[in-house]
Every structure is written in C-alpha cells, then in structure tokens.
A and B are shown apart, each in its own frame.
Chain A
C-alpha cells in the first residue's frame, strides 16, 4: 500500500521535526491525526519509540484530549447536542438510547464501522431541541423511542 507507506513517512518526518522539544507528544499526535484521520495503536507506538517516551505516556495524552480519535471515523457520524437547551429537553436520554442501540460509548465507533457516536455542543437548532445530526441531516424534537427507526435508515 504505497498510500499508507507515504503516511508513515510523513509521520516519521513529524517525529523528527519535534524530537527533543519539550512536550513533543502533543504536536506529533495532532499531526498524526491529520495524516491518518485517527491515531491507532501502531502509530502511537511509532511516536513513543521515535520520541523516546513510553507508549503509556502517548496513550495518556491521546485519551486525555477529546480531539484525538483512537478509531477511524464510522461511515455515519452521529452528533448528539448536549448544549443547554437540548440537555434540558432530555438529550442525554437520546444519547443513552443511541449508546445502548449501537453498543458503544460516546466517542467510539461501532465494530462494523457504520456509526461513530459523538457529543456536540449547540448545533444552533435550539427550537427543535433535543437535536441530533447524522452526517448532514438534522433530527429534532426527538424521543428515545424514535432512535431505532432512524438508525435503521442508515443500515439499509
């Protein structure tokens, strides 16, 4: 896979650029995420070895900051608004239902790669609260029992 090979070469460049800097793990992880779209285990190992830090340290940083994803994004990205208005209108229950239906925690991707479940801030559709987005589609005035049918549309 020449494509991948190039990505790893880019990662090595990034590591070489930041090696020796104080707090180098953070910028290298950011660049790695830019290159791969997420930061899988082998990429983090490469960063650890390249920078001379432990994998535990790299993984600690990668899991501390929400901006890093440990998995590739799913085909469909769900964003549930946990902004104030939606939250007051029960968006946590929507989130819990999604989590239960998809059998994943927030921030994770289903094993079949179909869905990634994210929490988002205000989507600017407070009048429709509670709101979620799947890809570019907005779903408003949601109740938990609507969730399975909506998901099925993307499973077809």
Chain B
C-alpha cells in the first residue's frame, strides 16, 4: 500500500489512495463538504464553487476536483470559506426563480437544502436582472425549466457520458449561458431517448417528468370507465423512500394497498406480464437459435434503450426481440383476455401504468402499441408521481397494511420481480429457457454471473447441448460499447439484455431522486436491486413458466407462446429514426 497519501483535514488525519479528491477524503474524515455540481461517478467539474476549501494556496480551491497531496493541510470551515460559499450561493440564487412552493422538488431540492445548511440570510442580496426562459414541455416525458437551472451541468454529464446521447449542453456565454439543445430546439425535436437520467441528476427543479397525475385523477373520477392499474417491478423497490422508509426495502404490500385506496378498480401487477414476457421472449430466442434467426437477440423491455437503438444503432433493429415491453403486454391482455372474461367492453377500460421510467410515457403513445384503435396503456405515471398522488390523497403510506394484488393478472413469480434490475430479465429468461430445453429442474435458479453493477456483464451458459453466450449492459453508453464490440467482430453472443438506465429500472428516470450527498454514501443501484433479489428469494415460485396464471392464459386464450394470437397482441415492430430532426 505504498500509494497512500496522508493529509490533515480540519485537524483530522486521514490516509487515502493517491488520486483521491479532497472532497472524498473529507467524507472519509466525517466531514461533508457542501456540493451542488458534483455527482459521484457522473459529474466532477468544479463549476458551482460551493465546495471551496483552504489549502494555504493563494486562492480557495474546489475540493471536488482537487487531488490530495502528501502532508496537505486542508481547512473546510473558516470564516473566509463560509463567506465565500455563502456569496457563491447567493449569486446562484440571483438567477433562480425561487418559486419553491409549486416546485416538484420542494423539500427534495439540493439548492433549497444548501440555503438551509449554509444559513443564507438574504436570498435577494444580488437581486437584479434575471434570465427568463420558456418552459419546454413539448416532450411526452421530460420538462425543462431553465428558470430553475443553476448550470451545474449534472444533466449534461448524465446525457452525454452516462447515456452517450448528448442532446443537451451549455449554450452561449456569460450571463446568457443556458443548458439547451442545439438552436434551442425543444427536446422533443432532438434524438432524446426520454430516459430521464437528466432528471435523476438535477439538483433542483429544472428538470422533471411530464406530469400525468391530473389525467389519472380525472380517470379515477370517471365512473363510466373501468380504471385498472399496474405497477412495474422496480416501483416497489423504491416507492417507500418517498415516505421516509429506508432505501433497499420493498413496499409491495403497502403499494398495492395504496393503489386500491386511490380508487383503482383492479390492482394488477406488471410482474404478471413480466412472466408472460419470458414465455414469449424465451420462445422467440429458442426459435431464432433453432431456425437460424437473427442473433444475438436483444431484449426489448426498456423504451429508452429501444429509442436509442432505433436512432443510433438502427442496424441492430432486426436483433431486437419483437416482444412488447411487459406493461404494454399487460395492457393488451387486460383489454382483450380480461375484458372478455369479465364481459366488459374494452373501450370502457383505461389502463394506468406506474413505472420507474419517463420513457414509458413516450412508449405508451407509440401508435403500433395498441389494438382496434385502442392504446394498450392509456396513461403512465412515474414512481414519483404515484407518491405525490398518495400524499395528495392523504394516505398514511408508512402505516398501511400489506395487501395483495388482485388475482390472476396480479400473480407473479420471483423471476418477474427481478426484471427491475440489470441482469434480471436475462436471469429470468435463463431459468425458463434452461428448463424448457433440458426438461430438467434447475438445482440453483440464481445466475449470479449476470448480477451486479458492472457496466457490461458476460456469461456462458450451458443449456443442454447448447452453449449460450450472453451479455448484459445497462446505461446506453455501455450498450453502445457492447454493440460496437459486436459490430467490429470482437464478440459473439446469442442473447443480450440491455436496459437504458444505469442499474436497470431500479434507478430509472422516474424513480425517487437520490441526492448527490446520499449517493456518496450508498449506491441506490445495489440497494434497490438487493430489495428485489430478496423478494425473489422469498417467493414460492421463481420461474415464469411455473406461474399458474400464465399457464392458464395460454390454455384458455393464447394457445401457445408465439402463437398467431400472441403475436397479434404481444409483439410489435420498430422503426429507424433520424438523429437530427429535419
């Protein structure tokens, strides 16, 4: 351990590896240096100047970009530093609209918190000319309000580095600098994949999801409609955080209870359709393997990933599984199978999906995802929007009893639960494909090689006589790396899982927002995934093909996986998209 560096921070002696920043070293010494632009693993830029510290150098330095040096003596809390931070903060406020009361990030805003922590006395100290920006709410998924932007560039880094999309950036100079798309085009005209990672990165309310709660409240008040709800696997792994419950704890039962209390007629579960997806996708994979179909086959659950593929890697469209994403399958089945069974005209049904995802809002409007002029899913709200509705309804979430989903389209296996984390769909598919091909019972259902938060994971799985090479990528920048390695002939796979967001759906763009400070202390990707794996482990059935409600739907309605009827209802097509709007 010869590359350790010893330094003193506020009189505390710490030893850290060379290359560590003062900010990280201070954290180790139990000192939280305030930050606004810093976001662990994503943005390290030194822009906001909140983290200034004194190392005895001529000027104060930004701790987030200042590497430790041997015998460095750092002070983080002196009158000079406190005054500098406060001034910097007040300067940021001078161009912020400070309309907190109706802001989606009220009480969950890093700028607000910083004002509290640093004891800002006069937020209008530097009041003067302000920039006035139009709110860009033309995208079906993401709203940009630059009047709240503090130019930290966390969204830019998330879009560019994490996702490899890069449709926003700093534009202009000086006072007129703003985060925008080229030519200030609305986001909707850009090749934005709607993933919402920019929202998850934003410290303020400058970025948020396009609100659909009003639409859902209106539906719930409409007595002529049967309003059905389905939450995605990942929602249960994070919803509790919005109500002060610890991260990494599933709140499945309370969530079902809350949805029922909100007034949904049926509380189904996208997990059921996740099991259905495995049947359809697994069968499709085996078909492609047997009949010389296009390989590798790539999963199609993530609408962020799908739009990324259609736009940036259209040559891989034939590789995409034709399966609709699980909530679209659930919607299609509610409006066909369930409607028929209940004797309800599907035109009187409205399906609301609760998703960890902002891209699902775009997806549900795709014209091809419907039947007989009806959309499979009528409205999508994110986990955050559901939390807002629960709060508005006055439901005491933390003290709700655990309730079950409604029977049949709410029944699922452990395989479905893990869809919500990177590697989950792959593992669920392998559990079923293995047993279908070999006719043997899996001794150990856990394929741990595809678990974890490594950007690209690989495994070779022996399925009877077949050796199946699989890969898993999450975050579209990682997906691009993986696809490039296939394109240039470095790698050969048969089956690939790609999720648009880093970590998969548990850390999707619609999930509860985790502050930068908290992200330094824990990794939500791992904690929320662990919650899903625990739920999977506790399930009596852990393989999709063992779900009795799935078996029954094939017997009663669909025939067999990939049947003509299944294709009609559960499969879709994709379209190459232009990178630049005309």
A interface residues with partner B (beta carbon < 8 Å): 41, 44-45, 54-60, 63-66, 70
Contact = CB atoms under 8 A, between A and B. Distances in A.
Contact of A56 (B168, B172, B173): B168
Which 6 A-B pairs give the minimum distances between C-beta atoms? A54-B166, A56-B169, A59-B182, A60-B169, A64-B173, A63-B172
A63 B173 contact: yes
8 contacts: A45-B580, A54-B160, A56-B160, A57-B160, A57-B166, A59-B169, A59-B182, A63-B173
B160 A60 contact: no
Nearest to A40: B183
Contacts of B183: 41, 59, 70
Contacts of B160: 54, 56-57
Interface size class of B (residues with CB under 8 A): 10 to 19
A47 B445 CA distance: 50
A66 B160 CA distance: 25
B181 interface: yes
A63 B171 contact: yes
B91 interface: no
Contact of B181 (A56, A65, A70): A56
B170 interface: yes
B182 A41 contact: yes
A55 B182 contact: yes
B167 interface: yes
A17 to B, nearest CB: 24
Interface string B462-496: 00000000000000000000000000000000000
A111 B304 CA distance: 38
Nearest to B160: A54
Contacts of A65: 173
Contacts of B156: 56
Contacts of B168: 56
B173 A57 contact: no
Nearest to A42: B580
Interface string B513-557: 000000000000000000000000000000000000000000000
A56 B580 contact: no
A70 B156 CA distance: 22
Interface string B356-379: 000000000000000000000000
B559 to A, nearest CB: 47
A70 B184 CA distance: 13
Nearest to B156: A56
Nearest to A57: B169
Contacts of B173: 63-66
Nearest to A66: B173
Contacts of B167: 54-56
Contacts of A66: 173
A34 B170 CA distance: 24
